[in-house]
Amino acid sequence: MTRYHGRFLRKTAIVTGAGSGIGAALTRALVAAGAHVVCTDIDLTAAKATAGAAKGYGHADAVRLDVTDGDAVQALVDSVVADHGRLDLMFNNAGICLLGDTEDLSLQQWNAIIDVNIRGVVHGVHAAYPQMLRQGGGHLVNTASMGGLMAGGLLTSYVMTKHAVVGLSLALRTEAASRNVGVTVVCPAAVETPMLDKGEIGPVRGRDYYLKGQGIKHPVDPDVLAGKVLAAVTANRPLVVEPVQARIAWRIGRLSPAFVLRSGARFVERQRALARSLVEHP
DSSP assigned state of 22: H
What is d(CA 80, CA 242) in angstroms, rounded to the nearest whole number? 31
Give me the amino acid identity at 232: A
**Spatial contact of 29 and 93, defined as CB atoms under 8 Å apart:** no
Rounded (10°) angle between helices 222-235 and 21-32: 60
Residues labelled catalytic: 158
Sheet with 239-242, side-by-side order of all strands: 59-64, 36-41, 12-15, 89-92, 138-143, 181-188, 239-242
Q: What is the CA radius of gyration of the chain?
A: 19
CA 24 and chain centroid, separation: 11
How many CB atoms are located within 10 Å of the residue 6 CB? 11
Q: Please give the Cα distance from 187 to 224 (Å, whole number).
A: 14
Helix (H) or strand (E) holding 39, with range, is strand 36-41
Strand, coil or helix: 241: strand
Find the helix or strand (DSSP H, E) in which 200 lies. none
Assess contact for 174 and 132: CB atoms under 8 A: no
